[in-house]
Amino acid sequence: MTKYRFLSIIKLVINMLVNSNEMLLKAKQSGYAIAHFNINNLEWTRYILEASEGLKTPVILGVSEGAIKYIGGYLTVYHIVSSLMKDLNISIDVCLHLDHGSSVESCKKAIDNGFTSVMIDASQYPFLENVKITKEVVEYAHTRGVSVEAELGHFGGSEDGMEYNTFHARVEEVIPFYEMTKVDSLAPALGSVHGLYQKEPNLDFDTMKKIKELLPIPLVLHGGTGIPKEQIEKAIDCGINKININTELQITWAKEVRKYLDENQEVYDPRKIIGSGKDAIIKKVQALILEFMKKNSTKEDIDNKI
């Protein structure tokens, strides 16, 4: 029995979510990126799990505070993910991650309710305040086996219905930030935005590369929707090992559902309406995972690697 199969059986029995450390470290060593998909409800969680299981690739399920509120609460999210993993016999590594945790309290609540990774986003505060808040989260998380992502600079665009301005991470802040916080991964804002781009994305690859050379930890790219393939490849070469996607799945799903409703005006069963976006989401998730895991990888490449 292979090591992977053995671990799969153990995980299946105890239904274990994992933190993001091992999968991101492996991605860093091998030069690819793990996909982070935001979940918005039970159905999306299921589709993303099935899509990732189909490829036998690890996945990060990100949940924003807005989505947590919409779904019902931190514990409800945890139970949806962990129960689906059991019912669907999910054997891959799955990390449940709080996306843009806005406070120490929110991160602690996620951790106490079974999340295996948190992002503390204190990027709107001055540098030393960001350090202080991030450090407090790291100390709480690390004693509980939970990984922590933090943000330097600030991602602009639209998220959870709010608009934000962009400012870039500064290279000289990166090492002091890492040494003072001991964070596990860093999201440096370098031109990507949440939501739709108004014009062609303009990422600061030079700074990204410099940060990669300075830092021993994986880097995270937020605002993955709408970044052309060549720029994604370049970002991975410049040290990005986790790519966050939300809007792209929303657009993919909404387009299919709109079409289905147009063509089936008499349908009122929510399972048919919501489910009409299933195949499109699964296809999109699998295409993005393959794109992020290795340039031009095929499903067979990925299967063989694992």
Stretch that binds ligand 13P, among 22-30, 163-171, 207-215, 223-231 (CB under 6 A): 223-231
CB 304, min distance to ligand 13P, A: 29
With CB under 6 A as the contact rule, the residue among 24, 51, 98, 99 that binds ligand 13P is 99
User: Total residues at the site for ligand 13P (CB under 6 A)?
Assistant: 15
Interface positions, 274-303, toward ligand 13P (CB under 6 A): none
Active-site residue flag, 99:
yes
CB 72, min distance to ligand 13P, A: 20
CB 57, min distance to ligand 13P, A: 19
The DSSP letter of residue 154 is B
With CB under 6 A as the contact rule, the residue among 46, 97, 109, 222 that binds ligand 13P is 222
Task: Considering the candidates 87, 93, 99, 269, report the single residue annotated as catalytic.
Answer: 99
CB 63, min distance to ligand 13P, A: 10
* 242: β partners: 34, 220
Q: Which of 154, 123, 146, 148 is nearest to 135 (CA)?
A: 148
Residue with smaller CB distance to ligand 13P, 58 or 101: 101
Should residue 248 be labelled a site residue for ligand 13P when binding is judged by CB under 6 A? Answer: yes
Q: Is 188 helix (H, G, I), strand (E, B) or coil?
A: strand
Residue with smaller CB distance to ligand 13P, 8 or 235: 235
Radius of gyration, CA atoms only, the chain: 19
CB 298, min distance to ligand 13P, A: 24
Q: Which of 23, 33, 37 is nearest to 284 (CA)?
A: 37
Q: Is 178 helix (H, G, I), strand (E, B) or coil?
A: helix
Rounded to 10 degrees, the C-alpha dihedral 130/135/136/141 comes to 120
Helices marked H in the chain — which ranges? 3-14, 21-30, 42-55, 65-71, 74-87, 104-112, 127-142, 171-181, 205-214, 229-237, 247-263, 270-275, 278-293, 299-305
With CB under 6 A as the contact rule, the residue among 28, 194, 212, 284 that binds ligand 13P is 194
Helices marked H in 113-192 — which ranges? 127-142, 171-181
With CB under 6 A as the contact rule, the residue among 91, 195, 209, 278 that binds ligand 13P is 195
With CB under 6 A as the contact rule, the residue among 223, 236, 277, 291 that binds ligand 13P is 223
With CB under 6 A as the contact rule, the residue among 117, 246, 276, 286 that binds ligand 13P is 246
CA distance linking residue 212 with residue 240, whole number of Å: 8
Residue with smaller CB distance to ligand 13P, 81 or 193: 193
Are 20 and 184 contacting, i.e. CB atoms less than 8 angstroms apart?
A: yes
SS (H, E, C) 90-119: CCCCEEEEEEEECCHHHHHHHHHCCCCEEE
* Binding-residue pattern over the window 128 to 167 for ligand 13P, x denoting contact by CB under 6 A: ----------------------------------------
Active-site amino acid positions: 99
Residues in contact with ligand 13P by CB under 6 A are 38, 62, 99-100, 194-195, 222-225, 244-248
